[in-house]
């Protein structure tokens, strides 16, 4: 129920009740303004998109602070990354009321991020985080729509990952100190991520059977996904090479520092940057993680199918594998031609035999 009345001071007081029965009121200088506001509120109540006026004033920065407090249940590294994203979002858009942010404003923000030197991949990440904030705000009844969409997302094709050559992989291996050499072996020949490499324990490797079973990531956190726990078969020669640090240091982890103790990823990456500079042809931003791309290309070039490659990379879905590495699978045009040609040739041969048998009578 809605009504509008003029007060003794001449101000018009408009009021209505939402679908929960709560009354809301607002004052206007003219009856026309008050009536228009009532129509707008009644329409939003009818459509199920109503947001209480008090909550409608919530800013993006205020919502981000409330949102991150509920996000704390995730892994520490995941929360840390979210906080980094929110710092940029709040600095640029934090003062804006949630309901006031429009798609055009999001588009302009994305363009400004690129002009300030942010990498395309990072702009994608920031846009995705902003979209996540608005999606959750919708679920919480703070906004009716999410201004983020494909239309507001950064444009441009996703860059294909750089795949190192085998010579470059071994050059990296040889350029690292002996205690860090397993970093390359685990990345390029088992597909482990850097946090998994740093945390991989001797007990996680079955040297006799040739199986690596990642269990944690640095610093003793759960793995990225359940699929990340999948065992990885390795050849006997690789198992022997990975055993070197245990023999030399009696260490509990496969990768150790200069004194035989476990090390953090940033310590490994410091040595990595020195080794990378010594290898000709590698991009300046080539990461330890990029050794996974070499591992994927090695499996694909060996003729392994998509499901096997997915399992070895421990991706959550085959779609992730195809989206990232689909271009590495060999062109099957000739194979498909040969398959059709074989059927046509068989038919031709059958007809030839049949026609020949008719000719003998």
Does 166-328 match 60-139 at the fold level?
A: no
Tens digit of pLDDT for each residue in 110-163? 999 989 988 888 898 899 999 999 999 888 878 878 999 888 988 754 566 788
Q: Domain locations in the chain? A: 2-50, 60-139, 166-328
CATH superfamily, with its number, for domain 166-328:
Intergrase catalytic core (1.10.443.10)
pTM: 0.59
* Alpha-carbon gap, residue 287 to 193, rounded angstroms: 10
Tens digit of pLDDT for each residue in 200-258? 999 999 999 999 999 988 878 888 778 888 899 999 899 999 888 888 888 889 998 88
How would DSSP label each residue in 142-170?
S-SS---STTTSPPSPPPPPP---HHHHH
Q: Are strands 23-28 and 12-17 parallel, antiparallel or unpaired?
A: antiparallel
Nearest-CA neighbor of 283 among 201, 203, 168?
168
CB-CB contact of 300 with 326 (8 Å): no
Q: Which fold has domain 60-139?
A: DNA polymerase; domain 1 (1.10.150)
């Amino acid at each position: 129920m809605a009504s509008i009345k003029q007060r003794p001071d001449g101000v018009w007081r408009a009021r209505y009740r939402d679908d929960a029965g709560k009354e809301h009121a607002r004052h206007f200088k003219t009856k026309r303004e008050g009536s228009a506001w009532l129509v707008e509120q009644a329409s939003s109540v009818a459509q199920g998109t109503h947001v209480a006026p008090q909550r409608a004033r919530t800013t993006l920065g205020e919502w981000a602070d409330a949102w991150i407090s509920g996000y704390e249940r995730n892994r520490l590294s995941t929360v840390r990354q979210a906080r980094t994203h929110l710092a940029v979002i709040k600095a640029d858009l934090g003062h804006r009321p949630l309901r006031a942010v429009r798609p055009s404003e999001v588009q302009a923000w994305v363009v400004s991020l690129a002009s300030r030197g942010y990498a395309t991949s990072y702009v994608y990440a920031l846009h995705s985080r902003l979209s996540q904030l608005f999606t959750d705000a919708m679920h919480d009844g703070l906004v009716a729509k999410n201004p983020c969409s494909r239309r507001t997302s950064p444009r441009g094709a996703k860059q294909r990952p750089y795949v190192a050559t085998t010579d470059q992989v071994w050059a990296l291996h040889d350029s690292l100190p002996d205690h860090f050499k397993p970093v390359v072996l685990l990345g390029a020949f088992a597909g482990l991520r850097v946090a998994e490499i740093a945390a991989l324990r001797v007990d996680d490797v079955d040297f006799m059977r040739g199986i690596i079973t990642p269990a944690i990531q640095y610093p003793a956190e759960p793995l990225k996904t359940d699929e990340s726990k999948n065992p990885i078969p390795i050849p006997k020669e690789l198992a022997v090479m990975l055993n070197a640090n245990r023999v030399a240091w009696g260490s509990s982890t496969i990768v150790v520092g200069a004194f035989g103790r476990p090390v953090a990823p940033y310590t490994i990456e410091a040595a990595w940057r020195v080794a990378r500079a010594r290898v000709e042809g590698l991009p300046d931003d080539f990461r330890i993680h990029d050794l996974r791309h070499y591992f994927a290309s090695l499996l694909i070039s060996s003729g392994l199918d998509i499901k096997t490659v997915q399992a070895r990379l421990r991706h959550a879905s085959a779609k992730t594998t195809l989206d990232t590495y689909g271009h590495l699978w060999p062109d099957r045009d000739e194979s498909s031609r040969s398959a059709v040609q074989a059927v046509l040739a068989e038919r031709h041969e059958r007809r030839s035999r049949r026609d020949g048998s008719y000719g003998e009578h």
